[in-house]
Chains A and B, each alone.
Chain A
Amino acid sequence: MKRSGFSFLARPQFAALIAVLFINWLLFPGFFDITWQDGRLFGSLIDVLNRGAPVAILAIGMTAVIATKGVDLSVGAVMAISGAVAASLVVGGTASWIAVLAALGIGLACGLWNGMLVTVLDMQPIIATLVLMVAGRGLAQLITEGSIVTFSDPLLIFIGTGSFLGFPMPVVIAFVLLVGSTLAVRRTALGLLIEAVGVNRSAARFAGITSGALLLLVYAFAGFCAAVSGLIVAGDIRGADANNSGLWLELDAILAVVIGGTSLLGGRFSIPMSVLGAMIIQAMNTGILISGFSPEFNLVVKSGVIILILVLQSPLAARLFSRGHARPEPATAPRTTP
């Protein structure tokens, strides 16, 4: 299980990110230009990090859930709820730090609800979280009464658009969550326990792991991450848009996790690789925006690149690759079981 800190540089995902960034540079030569403006970094590369942060944060939570052989379809709706709660509270005159805590608390509660359905009622995760995916957006619309709740609260706006050491706040938040969660799962036994539950829940229980509590924990964490993303997206546009906030982002988050190489069948997982996956997706989105292609091509280009990346990291490609080099290559060994 021991991996060197830089082994990820040899993975196909890293090559994919470099390739996408290189193509962006070909399409738009100023892609790597970064300037200093109004006390913050400014450039397309920063846009990729900034715009990719909400999905990256979702992917951090989603990785833990998927590692337990689950999935959380409700994160997009939880984003909408979190933004709606925070926005309505500050518009109603509540102190902004209470509004932020309330939004995060609601996210945790949503995650616990999912976790309860999965553990106590033993529902399949895809169905259990589908409930909140559908109902959650309705809840958010009820809170905002169907309109966009605009606010001018400095703390919420800072979360969405502020900067720290020149980096946009969403990037800083995503980075802190990435480091924190990676340390939590890799410097303690937590990661191993999660993988054990994901590989075989019954076996893990017989081995003495309280899988129920662990599942509750990962779903609550996914809900918390979704709430953080929801605050960022709301702060970014200075309003809670219950109809569109986080819409379909659960799919982007799952995609990011899959691109990162974590199997949907549970088990071995890597949070940094999922974040890398989110950055690949966003680098593609940003590239399409500045390329000047007509918008009808967006989805075709995106799906083409994603298929390519998934084929590159499939067992088949790994076999071809290792045959070409006439030696087994552990770093590109199949990470997904068929």
Chain B
Amino acid sequence: MSIIRKLALGAGIGALLSTVAFADGLQGKVIGFSQIGSESGWRAAETSVTKQQAEKAGIDLKFADAQQKQENQIKAIRGFIAQGVDAILVAPVVSTGWDEVLGEAKDANIPVVLLDRGIDAPEDLYLTSVASDQVKEGRVAGEWLVATVGDKDCKVVQLEGTVGSSPANNRKKGFEEAIAGHGNITIVRSQTGDFTRSKGKEVMEGFIKAENGGKDICAVYAHNDDMMVGAIQAMKDAGLKPGTDILTVSIDAVPDIFAAMAAGEANATVELTPDMAGPAFVALDGYLNGGKVPEKFIITESKLYTAADDPKGQYEARKGLGY
């Protein structure tokens, strides 16, 4: 990573963290972090934010990349226990098979915090879990649309995530909950875009053809920003004006959607924060310095960003995070 990138990263984190509560009692503590891998841009951003958060709080962070394998994570956790770390952060790659290794951590009296995914294990095996509420993300997106269109009739097309994946199911559910009871808003078409840009673009092309050249579509809802970036290009190719002719709302808050928003081509995005470590460190601070047991499930904020939230600044702040 070049110096320039590092500087940009530092500046980006500074801007992101300015509003977040800060754990200052963890100075000099050793904390192990077992990350899943780097399968997506969001994951890379989570890793960089966690490292920066640790540096800021003066934590000696031991980072282990599991390359999508549970056995690597279990090895890493055993390694952390052997080193006698003060606490362990785990972003679990799968939900089962954790009882034994987390039992070992419990016996060694090392608190474990789960990041961004839950597990099927007795709750006393970990201190707390920090995660977003995917249903709420969908609901926030839906509520924005309800508030924006008011009483007007609105036909929505939906770009779903990978069929059967939990973010796709939950984000769909949340959105449907939010528009339920508003008869003027209906989802007319829904297809999977596999969370990717090119599929998002291809599916949107199909929707535009099927809905009278796009003239009948009032809004697009995408389960992630990448699909929306593709859909925005499809709308432009068809001679439509995304953001004006067709409203857009999606989830994740990656840099490129802010670039589109700054250009007036996207309307809203709901943030899936890469800062899971911040709340985790605050919880650990309270627990290690005074024995305060945190809530079992800490839910991160699902913040809505629109053109009113300085999209250009958000783009600059996020583009160095590794998305």
- A289 touching B201, Cβ below 8 Å: no
Stretch of A120-128, A142-150, A266-274 on the interface side: A142-150
- Does A321 count as interface, using CB distance less than 8 angstroms? no
Q: Are A236 and B198 in contact (CB under 8 A)?
A: yes
User: What 0/1 readout, one digit per residue, does chain A (115-133) give for beta carbons within 8 Å of chain B?
Assistant: 0000000000000000000
In the assembled complex, B253 has its CB within 8 A of some CB on chain A: no
> How far does the Cβ of A144 sit from chain B's closest Cβ, in whole Å?
10
Contact of B201 among A236, A243, A244 (CB under 8 A): A236
Known: A37-B239, A292-B189. A28 touches B210 (CB 8 A): yes
List, in ascending order, chain B residues with CB within 8 A of A243's CB.
39-40
* Binding stretch for chain B, among A7-15, A41-49, A66-74, A182-190: A41-49
B268 in the interface, Cβ–Cβ < 8 Å?
A: no
Q: Contact mask B31-49 → A, CB, 8 Å, 1/0?
A: 0000000111100100000
Within 8 A of B (CB), among A149-166: 150, 161
Q: How far, in angstroms, from A288 to B192 measured CA to CA in the complex?
A: 11
Distance between Cα atoms of A43 and B210 in the complex (Å): 10
Judging by beta carbons under 8 Å apart, are B210 and A294 in contact? no
Interface string of B194-222 (1 = CB under 8 A from A): 10111001110111011000000000000
Central interface residue in B192, B202, B203, by most chain A CB within 10 Å: B202
Contact (A146, B163) CB under 8 Å given A289-B191, A290-B206 = no
Whether B198 contacts A244 by the Cβ 8 Å rule is yes
* Alpha-carbon distance between A28 and B212 when the two chains are bound, in angstroms: 11
Assess whether B233 is interfacial by the CB under 8 Å rule: yes
Query: Which of chain B's residues 161-195 have a Cβ closer than 8 Å to chain A?
Result: 163-164, 189-192, 194
**A51 with B196: in contact, given A38-B239, A161-B237, A295-B190 (CB under 8 Å)?**
no
Cβ distance A87 to chain B, nearest Cβ, rounded Å: 13
In the complex, A28→B209 CA distance in Å? Answer: 10
B322 contacts which of A28, A146, A290 (Cβ < 8 Å)? A146
Contact across chains for A298 and B163 when beta carbons are under 8 A apart = yes
Assembly CA distance A301 to B39 (angstroms): 29
Give chain A nearest CB distance to B219 CB in angstroms.
Answer: 18
Q: A245-B198, A286-B206, A289-B191 are in contact. Are A295 and B163 (CB under 8 A)?
A: yes
Q: Are B322 and A145 in contact (CB under 8 A)?
A: yes
Q: Is B285 an interface residue (CB 8 A)?
A: no
Given contacts A30-B209, A233-B198, A237-B233, contact A289 B203 (CB under 8 A): yes
B226 at the interface (CB under 8 A from A): yes
Closest to B164 in A: A296
Smallest CB–CB gap between B15 and chain A, Å?
A: 19
- Closest-CB distance, A156 to chain B (whole angstroms): 14
Set B194, B207, B229: member contacting A237, Cβ < 8 A? B229
Q: Contacts A148-B41, A237-B230, A241-B198 given: A42-B256 contact, CB under 8 Å?
A: no
Give the number of chain A interface residues (Cβ < 8 Å): 35
Does A238 contact B233, Cβ atoms closer than 8 Å? yes
Smallest CB separation, B293 vs chain A (Å)? 36
Residues of chain B contacted by A294 (CB below 8 angstroms): 190
Does residue A111 face the partner (Cβ distance < 8 Å to B)?
A: no
Instruction: Indicate if the CB atoms of B198 and A43 lie closer than 8 Å.
Output: no
| Neighbouring B residues of A298 by C-beta, 8 Å | 163, 192
Kindly state the separation between the CA atoms of A43 and B323 in the bound complex, as whole angstroms. Answer: 34
Asked if A289 and B197 sit within 8 Å, CB to CB, the answer is no
CA separation between A302 and B41, bound complex, in Å?
A: 31
Closest to B211 in A: A290
Query: Of A236, A285, A288, which is in contact with the most chain B CB atoms at under 10 Å from its CB?
Result: A236
- Of the candidates B191, B196, B209, B237, the one having the most CB atoms from chain A within 10 angstroms of its own CB is B209
Does A239 count as interface, using CB distance less than 8 angstroms?
yes
B191 touches A295 (CB 8 A): yes
B160 at the binding interface (Cβ < 8 Å): yes
B238 within 8 A of A: yes
B residues in contact with A42, CB < 8 Å: 238
Collect the chain B residues with CB atoms within 8 Å of residue A288's CB: 191
Q: CB within 8 A of B209: which of A47, A237, A239?
A: A47
In the bound complex, do residue A292 and residue B210 qualify as a contact, i.e. CB atoms below 8 Å apart?
yes
A145 to B43, CA, bound (A): 12
CB of B240, distance to nearest CB on chain A (Å):
11
Q: Please, which residues of chain A bring their CB within 8 A of the CB of B259? A: 150
The answer to whether B209 and A43 touch across the interface, beta carbons within 8 angstroms, is yes
Asked, given contacts A43-B209, A47-B209, whether A146 binds B41 with beta carbons under 8 Å apart, the answer is yes
**A234-268 vs B, Cβ < 8 Å mask (1 yes, 0 no):** 00111101011100000000000000000000000
B173 to chain A, nearest CB (A): 15
A283→B40 CA distance, assembly (Å): 30
- Bound complex: CA A292 to CA B189 (Å): 6
Q: Contact between B41 and A147 (Cβ–Cβ < 8 Å)?
A: yes
Cβ–Cβ contact A148 & B226, under 8 A:
yes
Nearest CB of chain A from residue B269's CB, rounded to whole Å: 16
The distance from the CB of A154 to the nearest CB of chain B, in whole angstroms, is 15
The 4 nearest A-B residue pairs measured at CB: A289-B206, A295-B192, A237-B197, A244-B196
Question: What is A's interface to B at a CB cutoff of 8 Å?
Answer: 28, 30, 37-38, 42-44, 47, 51, 141, 145-148, 150, 161, 233, 236-239, 241, 243-245, 285-286, 288-290, 292, 294-296, 298
Sample (12) of A-B pairs whose CB atoms are under 8 Å apart: A145-B44, A146-B38, A146-B40, A161-B237, A237-B198, A237-B201, A243-B40, A244-B197, A285-B202, A289-B203, A289-B210, A290-B210
Q: Given contacts A290-B207, A295-B191, A298-B163, list 6 more A-B pairs with CB under 8 A.
A: A38-B239, A42-B238, A47-B206, A51-B202, A148-B256, A241-B197
